[in-house]
Amino acid sequence: MMPLAPSEAIEHGDDARRDGSMLVLGIETSCDETAAAIVARSSDGHGRILSNVVRSQWEKHRAFGGVVPEIAARAHVECLDELIAEAIAAAGTTLDDIDAIAATAGPGLIGGLIVGLITGKMLALAHAKPFLAVNHLEAHALTVGLTDGLLPPYLLLLVSGGHTQLIAVHAVGQYRRLGSTIDDALGEAFDKTAKLLGLQMPGGPSVEEAAQWGDSKRFVLPRPMLGRAEPHFSFAGLKTAVRHAALAIAPLTDRDIADLCASFQTAAAEAVVDRTRQAMKMLNSDEAFGPGRPTRHLVVAGGVAANTALRAALTDLASAYGYTFHAPPISLCGDNAAMIAWAGAERFARGITDNLDAPVRPRWPLDREAAPALGAGAKGAKA
Ligand code: KG4
Ligand code: ZN
């Protein structure tokens, strides 16, 4: 069990209750992390984390080299009740004091989603609480509201294991997708690179660690989509280029692995920066985002947002283009339930709730109007 605790943000439930804040229980089970959290939202929109517990399932999946959906679903069932009880106790509150219950309804692995969604609905029914079926991507997108108090509009780069998108966040509930990947997600490219090089899963942190002492100039790797007008992404070619480079010098030494990781990470970050720059150019003609605004914000979110090299490259890009840069603390980049509770709280504060027949949605794009990226394969069309 890893209690994720950005300690400065954690406060006691009684204090939150006394200032009239709304308390929301969040439940997250969309992939390989089981999580529960209590978040308080004051009437002026200020958010605080009262508790935030996450249990990673990686030990159960490691031998298979990736997340096995059936194992994931079973593991969620085994520990979710215990985690919810722990989150409630750690917040110093009771279920009766909770104002609403929020659970991830999608996108994600269907078995795990069913476990979390049904648990959330059951608690809402038994305790007569309002229920919110939360979009996991929206939860990543709104995390900076909880951590930095940042309100839309902002340009969002969402980079996780299953998604890579640039989104104009106009308001809570109003998302316009500017670009997405036509093949692999960025986190997936990190994970596949790690697997190829024999590094531990999840791959992102392993690749980042090895890259720290590697030479990023040793291997010449492609920067996919560089300069293309639309801010779409592609990482399949970069991943294949790493494979070819590795095969050409196999067997690999630790030095080779570090140099491959550093070269891959630099190429990926440069490609992401180029695509984000393109999105900024697109937004120049948008009143809500254009250069006429006193402040413009770039936000990065999702598991890959924990990558220090990527954060540094995006910080430079933002300052060059007159944007302020925001990223959640590293502990809140990966999947957690505080972000689910917060997204639920933001919707609840706007008078939104969901019925108890809200469906599980393994595919659930944030921008339902967005057409598939030109040239997207089956995977890209989902992203
Ligand atoms: O958002 P997330 O926790 O789960 C999904 O919703 O997909 O993202 C997980 C992804 C994985 O692909 C993982 O390897 C990647 O985020 N990741 C990283 C780092 N930490 C996690 N990628 C690069 N650098 C990191 N430090
Ligand atoms: Zn996620």
Residue 8 — very low, low, confident or very high, per pLDDT cuts 50/70/90?
A: very low
- Residue nearest atom 7 of ligand 1, based on CA coordinates: 161
Which atom from ligand 1 is nearest to the alpha carbon of 194? Answer: 14
Residue 377 — very low, low, confident or very high, per pLDDT cuts 50/70/90?
A: low
Is the model more confident about 294 or about 98? 98
Answer whether the bond into residue 202 is a cis peptide, omega within 30°: yes
Helices (H), the chain: 13-18, 58-61, 69-90, 110-126, 136-147, 186-196, 203-211, 236-249, 254-283, 308-320, 338-349, 378-382
Ligand at shortest distance from the CA of 138: 2
Q: What is the mean pLDDT of residues 218-225?
A: 95
Residue 12 — very low, low, confident or very high, per pLDDT cuts 50/70/90?
A: low
Distances (CA, A) of 4 to 37, 68, 194, 201, 252: 10, 24, 25, 20, 36
Instruction: Give tens-digit pLDDT for 276-320.
Output: 999 999 999 998 887 888 899 999 999 999 999 999 999 999 999
Residue 374 — very low, low, confident or very high, per pLDDT cuts 50/70/90?
A: low
Q: Is the pLDDT of residue 5 over 80?
A: no
Q: Is the pLDDT of residue 378 over 70?
A: no
Q: Measured in angstroms, how far is the CA atom of residue 355 from the centroid of ligand 2?
A: 24
Q: What is the mean pLDDT of residues 347-358?
A: 98
Ligand at shortest distance from the CA of 204: 1
Is the model more confident about 106 or about 67? 106
Residue 151: the pLDDT is 95
Residue 3: the pLDDT is 40
DSSP state of 151: -
Instruction: Give tens-digit pLDDT for 23-69.
Output: 999 999 999 999 999 999 999 999 999 999 999 998 899 888 888 99
- Residue nearest atom 23 of ligand 1, based on CA coordinates: 204
Mean pLDDT of the residues in the chain: 93
Is the model more confident about 320 or about 2? 320
Q: What is the mean pLDDT of residues 319-344?
A: 97
Q: Which residues of 294-319 are buried (b: 16+ CB within 10 A; e: fewer)?
A: eebbbbbbbbbbbbebbbebbbebbe
At position 233, the amino acid (one-letter code) is: F
Residue 381 — very low, low, confident or very high, per pLDDT cuts 50/70/90?
A: very low
pTM over 0.85, yes/no: yes
Share of the chain above pLDDT 70, in %: 93
Q: Is 306 in the pocket of ligand 1 (CB under 6 A)?
A: yes
Instruction: Give tens-digit pLDDT for 227-256.
Output: 999 999 999 999 999 999 999 999 999 999
Q: Is 106 in the pocket of ligand 1 (CB under 6 A)?
A: no
Q: Judging by beta carbons within 10 Å of its beta carbon (0-12, 13-18, 19+), is residue 280 exposed, middle or buried? A: buried
